[in-house]
Amino acid sequence: MVRLDIIGLARGSIEAARWTDGRPGRLDVTTEAFDWVAVLDDDAFDRHAPARRHPECPERLAAARDGLRAALPASSQRRLAVRDATVAELERVHSRAHLSAMSAALDGRFRSLDADTYVSPGSRDAAFRAAGAAAVLGDALARGEVRRGFGLLRPPGHHAERDRAMGFCLFNNVAVAASSARAAGARRVAVVDWDVHHGNGTQQIFESDPSVLFISLHQWPLYPGTGAPEDIGRGPAVGTTANLALPPGSGPEDYAHAFRVVVRPLLASFGADVLLVSAGYDAHVRDPLGAMRLDAATYGAMASELAAAADALGHGKVGFILEGGYDLQALEASVSETVRGATGATQSLPDGRPSPAAAAAVESTRRALEPHHALLARPLR
């Protein structure tokens, strides 16, 4: 069954948006309530299944679907078709050599592409459909057909580089969404990646493209070993990559500090027409692949912050694309809170002090980007 679930959105306008000097880092945005979110899902995503026990499994998607249903009323859903990605859409972000290699690998058999990444008999349908769904989401956001969207996509994508599959990822879904948004008329697109692992593929694809801002909040050190603070883009795109390489054990206060000092000002400075989120949930305290201390409420608060930032820019266009998250209970709860935060259940990141190690990591990123963004000229307090 092929579907794009639509859970309707009230056509409201922003009545007021302002940065305040009261409570630290608070953004006050008044909007009419959102009644729907575009949800992209497809049964093909379940058919990407490992031959033996593996953390990236179909049960993850079942948990994410349960979380979404808990946050959104089923009675307001309607279905539209998603589709496979076209070769042209994939070639915007991947090399022809990679597409040829993937066509050969996706031959209907179980195989390992590397120590972490598998393909199965159902992976071809899942990978092309996930990338196509991402293209649909990016296009719909850019054209103003939706203002909030969530792609329940498998396999995940943010590790896939221009010419390489890796880290459970075959095609880079969020990159396809961003390039499709650009093709549909968005002048600038921002991608915020809160997965516990650095989105090396997304960075590599866009690090020389000044029309795409990439912000990653990730554990450092950790796989894949990329995402250092001094990596800020290349050539004409210097200043459009931000790596917040946070130490193991970072929690809600540390992420809140990163949002206040770097994420908020960068989004305001860049002025993207569409905001995309690589929504991985493996920085949750329960997750077996990371060592961070987030909880479901923190994901809801980050989603609320990003939705408010998009509303403050005057368009409110935010699309979330599922990446990691390998504890099923944590994944279900975190997706629920993300959807609630993105649709008007205002949640605030905590005001507590960050750890000295996290504060130092954030300051390294701020200093690296300071020459390129006036709003980062001094840390916010």
Which residues does 300 contact at the CB level (< 8 Å), separation at least 6?
334, 337, 338, 340, 341, 345, 347
* 166: number of Cβ within 10 Å: 18
- Respond yes or no: is residue 197 known to be catalytic: no
Closest CA to 5 of 73, 89, 86: 73
Note whether 21 and 96 are within 8 A (CB): no
Q: What is the DSSP letter of 236?
A: G
CB 279 within 8 Å of CB 236: no
Catalytic residue among 158, 159, 197, 373: 159
Determine the Cα–Cα distance for residues 376 and 354; give it in Å rounded to an integer. 18
Q: Which 3 state secondary structure label does DSSP give 366?
A: helix
Element (H, E) at 243: strand 241-246
H helical segments located in 173-239: 173-183, 200-206
Tell me which residues are annotated as active site: 159
